[in-house]
Structure 1
Amino acid sequence: MEALEVLGGYPTKPLNPRARMVRVLLSMTVCMGCLLMLHSFLKISKSRKPQDFYSFEVKDAKGRSVSLERYRGKASPLAQASLVVNVASHSEHTEMNYRSLQELHQELGTSHFNVLAFPCGQFGETEMSASRDIEAYAKNTYGVTFTIFSKVKIMGSEAEPAFKFITDSVKKVPKWNFWKFLVNPEGQVVRFWKAEEPVDSVRQEAITMVRQIILKKRTEL
């Protein structure tokens, strides 16, 4: 008796074929249940994938997380359109674009329209290193009041997800600074412009979209 206790007790009897089969079926059932749970989890995760531009979160110039939902306009009397731009502080297009974008931002007003700037340093030495410096430079030099986010990458595997949504939508990646992407209140990209294209064209499209937003809202009142 003592010898058996030292060895861990009495030897167990071998399972009969029926019991062995029950154990195998039970193991298979547990495994199948785990697989079904994993499938459900992956399906839910996929369904939660951002479906529009405003579904993403980004960093502001101070490194704080910001939900782009605030620019959709749900909380305001009117929905909003956005002009998303990859900006740079030391490009040949900087002065003309910053001044034109600021004029457009003021003209259409933040109740209906926003310019959303994403600094990018992937085009040579056209952008500074620190996001706060980029924001301060734009405000102090060009009087910019529209939102400037943290510096991001817009190309390659490290591209900012929100901006990748933009480029994937139009199947185009900017070749240089100051490409512009017009986003409607539903968070979908409806048109884009290259840096060298006239800002007047951007202005006309933005004004048209804002008018449509206002008319739609009036019909709903």
Structure 2
Amino acid sequence: MEALGGYPTKTTAQKSRMFTVLFSLMVSVGCLFLLQTKLAKSRKPKDLYSFEVKDAKGRTVSLERYRGKVSLVVNVASHSEHTELNYRALQDLHKELGTSHFNVLAFPCGQYGETEPGNSYDIESFAKTTYGVTFPFFSKIKILGSDPNPAFKFITDSVQKVPRWNFWKFLVNPEGKVVRFWRPEENILSVREEAVSLVRDIILKKRVEL
């Protein structure tokens, strides 16, 4: 059938086929979007040890190496009123509990006043030279603002608290879950007590498995 002017008109069957094709395309696109979203969610880290971070030399490292151990994550600074007391206390704790079951993990941050102005390499060197620190240092990070470090954001989201200053301490269990936090003015003995308890659990579990 032709319309006025000699141009053929589309039949009902043709229109139906076009609608079917378009609808199928829309369904396919929708399914692909849902699949992509599901895959993205499945890849989202479920615990701290699922993250990758940069070390003080800028190399990418996986926190997976600390799975099965207790970690004390700390946002450190070189020129804070808490620096000397905390670095010495953290090093004592790191040395006492040993790296087989426990590690202090230091994340420098320069967003709290002028307490951490240096670069990552200089920050690590200063801590090691001045205070004899041996625990792992990572690259200088952001904690505040719209672009925080993903691993540290996982920590702060877990406890619904963001550090207001340097040397907040976050205790992470062997499964990578944040179980407690301390502000810088709180006694390190409380930190030690909780860390020792988790380390003891690891040792007892290993003995049972043997």
Residue 210 (str. 1) matches residue 205 (str. 2): no
The answer to whether residue 27 in structure 2 is matched with residue 38 in structure 1 is no
Deviation at 1:22, TM superposition (A): 0.8
> 1:27 offset after TM fit, Å?
1.6
Q: 1:69 maps to what in 2?
A: 64
The answer to whether 1:26 aligns with 2:16 is no
SS at match of 1:85: strand
2:13 and 2:137 map into 1 onto residues whose CA distance is 70
Aligned partner of residue 179 in structure 2, secondary structure: strand
Q: CA deviation at 1:12?
A: 8.7
Secondary structure of the corresponding residue to residue 181 of structure 2 = strand
Cα separation, 2, equivalents of 1:219 and 1:188: 23
Provide the residue aligned with 2:116 in structure 1: 127
2-side partners of 1:190 and 1:207: how far apart?
Answer: 14
Q: 1:173 aligns with which of 140, 156, 162?
A: 162
Structure 1 residue 220: Cα displacement: 2.0
How much does 1:138 deviate? 0.5
Aligned length: 205
The alpha carbon displacement at 1:155 in A equals 1.5
The secondary structure found in structure 1 opposite 2:154 is helix
1:77-116 correspondence to structure 2 within 5 Å = 79-116=68-105
CA deviations on 1:153-190 (whole Å, 9 max, x unpaired) are 11221111111111111111111110101000111111
Name the counterpart of 2:208.
219
Structure 2 residue aligned with 1:59: 54
SS in 2 for 1:25: helix
Q: State the 4+ residue runs in structure 1 displaced beyond 3 angstroms.
A: 11-15
Q: For residue 18 of structure 1, report the CA deviation from its aligned partner.
A: 0.5
1:171-218: CA deviation from partner (whole Å, max 9, x where unpaired): 111111101010001111111111001111111111111001111122
Structure 2 residue aligned with 1:195: 184
2:42 corresponds to 1:47 = yes
TM-score, normalization by structure 2: 0.94
What are the ranges of 5 or more consecutive residues in structure 1 without an aligned counterpart?
1-10, 73-78
Question: What do you get for the CA RMSD once the two structures are aligned?
Answer: 1.4
Counterpart residue type for residue 203 of structure 1: R
Q: Tell me, which stretches of 5 or more residues in structure 2 are unaligned? A: 1-5
Q: Looking at CA atoms only, which structure, 1 or 2, has the larger radius of gyration?
A: 1
The residue type paired with residue 135 of structure 2 is F
CA deviation string 1:4-62 (max 9, x = no partner)? xxxxxxx9954322122112211211221111111111011112111111111111111
TM-score (norm 1): 0.89
Over 3 Å counting, the alpha-carbon distance change for 1:20 and 1:202 in structure 2 is same
Q: Which amino acid aligns with 1:158?
A: D
